[in-house]
Structure 1
Amino acid sequence: MNTSLKKGHALLVFSLLAGMAVNAQDRYRKEADKLEASIERNFYDASSGYYKEHAEPERNEHPASYLWPLCGMIQADNELEVLSGEKRIDRSMSIIAKYYDTRKPAPGYASYPVPLGGGDRFYDDNQWIGIALMDAYFRTKNITYLEKSREIYRYMMTAYDTATGGGLYWQEGKLTSKNTCSNGPGIILALQMYKATKDKKLLDTALMLYKWVNKYLRDKDGLYYDNIHVPGKKIDQRRYSYNTGTMMQSNLYLYELTGEKKYLIEAKVIAESSSKYFLGSGAFRDTYWFNAVLLRAYQHLLKFDKDRKYIQAFSVCVDNALTKEMHPNGLLGAKNKTADLVGQSGMLEILARLALLEK
């Protein structure tokens, strides 16, 4: 083969490989765009300005969704904003604002829109919103996001007492359990705010909660139990991917902010255990939104370890879902179950993050 033919052959191979890379990137981006359109078509009610909980009208007992799915939507909108540059997060926040509840001991977000009667308040719902806003703050430097997160932090700390050695309750007014799902994101929010403000009290709070969770709710393999009962201290040993994800990411923030290598080592232990337990079969063990929180931690780990094996294992599960769990209306989920907004918001976040990682 002469020199010109060799060059032509090499150029063709390079073009094909580049095209494959672009298609991989485009695939997740296109799936995210399609899912976002399906969510708007199946869940958003333009006449009321609220999202609905379920895609099937007969399953919606109330005219508006509870808050939890919107915690997923605001984070998904943040990732889509990162991906496309198009403003999205403020629209989510304008809907969430309807859930704002000023009751004592501190303002926070209720589980149901206040104009429609309001509802109980859950500390983790508030924390997820704060985390999304802090992600947006680091990207945009919009002080409004920081101030709203500061308010959420103040509300979350009303959940603390020394029963069972410390930790944050899960639901306001029900002093029956302290959960990883209210302490893990609480650690992350405190660390995000410490990163933004350098107020050492925030780091102290994060370390206090971190030590408590690891004392009571970490298992021997580096996964995390769901909750501890108050006052009996009975442990609910169910293990969910989002709980493990928040504690992995807590370690990564601690390593990033303190430089102490022990936190990175612990994050890697958790990454290995979580990948085997939650992704080992090639299909998700948990719901999409739970796994979206786990993906946040794997993505964060890439800042310090470029090995993409956990992202690759996660992608296998996503591809499995896209192949086997697509509904005719463009939503995703097990074929024998109806689609709810929280699950779709989780998959939307996942697809947006994977599209960005494939760039």
Structure 2
Amino acid sequence: MRAWLLAPAAMAAVALHPAAPVVGQTTVDLTPFLGYGMEVAAEIDATLGVSGTALYAEGANLSGNQFGGSGGRAFVWPLSAQFRVLNSLAQYDPVTYEPKLREFSDQLHAGYWNSSLRGYSCCLGGSDRYYDDNAHLAVALAEAYEITGDSTYLYRARLTYQFLIQGEAPGYPGGSYWQVGNETFLDSAAALQGARAGAMLYKATGFQVYLDNALQRYAWAASTTQLADGTFMEKLFLTGDQAGEIGNYPLVNFTAMGIEANLQFYDVTGDPQYLTEAQRIGRTAANKYFSSSTGAINDEGYWAYELVDAFIDLYERDGRGLWLGRIENGLNWLHDNKEDPEGHYGRMWGRDPPPEETWIDGTLQSWYLNDQASVARAYLYAALLQTEPISGQNGADFNDDGVVNGGDFLVWQRGLGKIAQTDGAHGDANGDGTVDRRDLAIWQSAYATTASATSGTTPVPEPAAATLVALAMASFANRVSRSARRRRRHERDASFPTAIEE
């Protein structure tokens, strides 16, 4: 959806939170990032895709060689970032990319999932497993389920979350180790990204135990590693001279995960305290992680892309231009200053390259999946806020009468706040499993296109889009509350539901 058509999240913020400032139409245009993201994704496939598979290499160079990783395949952390690139591609063009996403997930599961010990291994066929890696994959899998409705992703996300539970440290409720067998510190990433995943699984299944565990994880981080400004340090040391102290740095990805966890809690509970906390952390991030002179996002891309997701998601919920302005400036600077002539990106988005990177005459000599995937995801995720999926107009014909009109809006309105998979709701234009504001944006864009193509008259006068939206948003809070109560009535188990291995 183009931003000048409507800012639905802004209208929702007014309806849900009267104290929030009224946000007008924005002139920020994120749609050019779609082309940038598609270009980087294509370059990933061309240079890092492993021939004969759906998987990717760790790195490649100008000689045409692939290198790194294990067994010719990337480590699982960069693959988790590429998973989210494929999620965005599948959201934009499901016909083309959903099969590719599924093939990738199948081969990732076959090669990296440790059936005997549980959890995704760090490398192909290995046994070394990290809880933060698995938290990243749980988020990617849950997101894939939201986008496609394919229950295989939900099943694998639940398996992965069961593994995360194994990493919880005795005596530290909500705290998690970083690596299996390493009990020297507790890790903020495993806790915060795990909290985000747990809330997503609660949304998908309605099992209260996921939300309870997610809230406990976040509470540990908030009480232990969170600083006064809202950012999070990396870890709590358990052994050595620093035992009982937090360290090392308040990295951008932990901050973004804190925002995202709060937004997920806000979505599933409707409690405005979570949105308020996400906004507080976001304001700190807007000042801390962006260059005041260039607007660049000053951190490693494989961490910084999480903040792009977080700011886009913040905007969808409160409509504040601060978030989009930072992202537009940061990503434009990235494209204009950090893309080399071959279409590759180094590790740093805003600062000088690290000494281990080799650049000759402005061209990167070798590049890594983690660095390219983070850029592709950032571009695509930003663009999809304002870009209608390829199947968008047909997807907005909710009553299948061959035209997008007010009748389809009424179908969407009846489904608002419901979960398509479990409630049988209609109005899910983007196929993410829920009927929400994104689907309204697709309907509105399709309706505007349909209206402009007519002669100016229709057999039945259509209600003004703004009036329809205002009426719908006024009832959104009540719909969300009823949906949450309905999910709670269907909860059947007080412990983690067991997923059966394939």
TM class by smaller structure: 0.7 to 0.9
Secondary structure of 1:233 counterpart: coil
- The answer to whether the 8 Å contact 1:225/1:239 transfers is yes
22 and 248 in structure 1: CA distance in 2 versus 1, 3 angstrom threshold = closer
Which residue of structure 2 lines up, in the alignment, with residue 259 of structure 1?
A: 270
Query: What displacement does 1:24 show?
Result: 5.2
2:136 to 128, 131, 153: 128
Equivalent position to 2:285, from 234, 259, 274? 274
CA distance in 1, matches of 2:52, 2:266: 47
Change (3 A) 1:141 1:61: closer
The one-letter code of the counterpart of 1:249 is E
Partner residue of 2:114? 101
State the Cα deviation string for residues 37-90 of structure 1 (Å, max 9, x = none): 211122112056642111224853742211111000011110111122232321
Which of 329, 343, 347 in structure 1 is aligned with 2:371? 343
2:58–2:66 Cα contact (<8 Å) kept: no
Separation (CA, whole Å) in 2 of partners of 1:39 and 1:205: 36
Q: Deviations over 1:176-225 (max 9, x none)?
A: 12111111111011111111222111121111111110111101111111
Aligned to 2:82: 73
Stretches of structure 2 that go unaligned for 5 or more consecutive residues are 5-25, 358-365, 388-502
- Provide the C-alpha distance between the structure 1 equivalents of 2:165 and 2:175, rounded to a whole number of angstroms: 10
Aligned length: 335
Q: What's the CA shift for 1:166? A: 4.6
CA shift for structure 1 position 279: 1.6
Give 4+ residue runs of structure 1 displaced > 6 Å after superposition: none
Is the 8 Å Cα contact of residues 128 and 185 (structure 1) preserved in structure 2? yes
Q: Give the deviation of 1:158 after TM superposition.
A: 0.2
Aligned match for 1:198, one of 206, 213, 216: 206
C-alpha distance in 2 between matches for 1:270 and 1:90: 35
User: Offset at 1:344?
Assistant: 0.8
Q: In the alignment, which residue of structure 1 is the partner of 2:339?
A: 326
Contact 2:57–2:67 at 8 Å: present in 1 too? no
Counterpart of 2:245 (choices 204, 228, 234) is 234
Structure 2 Cα separation of the partners of residues 60 and 152 of structure 1: 25
Structure of higher CA gyration radius: 2
Partner amino acid, structure 2, of 1:250 = A
Q: Is the 8 A contact 1:279 1:314 kept in 2?
A: no
Counterpart CA distance in 1 for 2:173 and 2:154 is 30
Give the fraction of aligned pairs with identical amino acids, expressed as a percent.
23
Distance 2:116 2:27 in 1: 51
- Name the structure 1 match of 2:221: 213
Kindly indicate whether the alpha-carbon contact (under 8 Å) linking 1:164 and 1:230 is maintained by their aligned counterparts in 2: no
Distance 1:99 1:179 in 2: 22
- Supply the distance in 2 between the matched residues of 1:137 and 1:32 (Cα, whole angstroms): 22
**Is the helix fraction higher in 1 or 2?**
1
Tell me by how many angstroms 1:302 deviates: 2.3
Match of 1:314 in 2: 327
2:39 counterpart letter in structure 1 = K
- Counterpart amino acid of residue 153 in structure 1: Y
Give the RMSD, CA atoms, in angstroms.
2.3
1:93 alignment partner AA = S
Q: Equivalent of 2:312, from 291, 299, 320? A: 299
* Helix, strand or coil at the partner of 1:238: coil
- Choose 256-265 or 48-57, whichever is displaced more: 48-57
Q: Distance between the aligned counterparts of 1:194 and 1:44, measured in 2?
A: 34
Cα contact 2:314–2:323 (8 A) shared by 1? no
Determine if contact 2:88/2:377 at 8 Å carries over to the other structure.
yes
The answer to whether the aligner puts 1:90 opposite 2:98 as a matched pair is no
**Structure 1, residues 251-295: CA drift from partner, whole Å, max 9, x if none?**
111122222221111111001001111124311221222122112
CA distance in 2, matches of 1:81, 1:320: 26
Does the 8 Å CA contact 2:87/2:147 hold for their aligned counterparts?
A: no
Q: Distance in 2 between matches of 1:61 and 1:300?
A: 32
Counterparts of 2:216 and 2:69 in 1: how far apart (Å)?
40
Taking structure 1 as the reference length, the TM-score comes to 0.87
Counterpart mapping for 1:10-89 below 5 A: 27-47=32-52, 50-56=55-61, 57=65, 60=68, 62=70, 63-85=72-94, 86=96, 87=98, 88-89=100-101
Please say if residues 322 and 332 of structure 1, whose CA atoms lie closer than 8 Å, have aligned partners that are also in contact: no
Q: Residues 136 and 64 (structure 1 numbering): CA distance in 2 closer, same or farther, change over 3 Å?
A: closer
* CA distance, structure 2, for counterparts of residue 254 and residue 276 of structure 1: 24
8 Å contact from structure 1 (residues 70, 92) kept in 2: no
Among 249, 254, 263, the alignment partner of 2:260 is 249
Instruction: Name which of 118, 122, 125 aligns with 1:111.
Output: 122
Instruction: Supply the distance in 2 between the matched residues of 1:80 and 1:43 (Cα, whole angstroms).
Output: 17
The offset of 1:238, in angstroms, is 0.3
CA change 1:284–1:26 in 2 (3 A) is closer
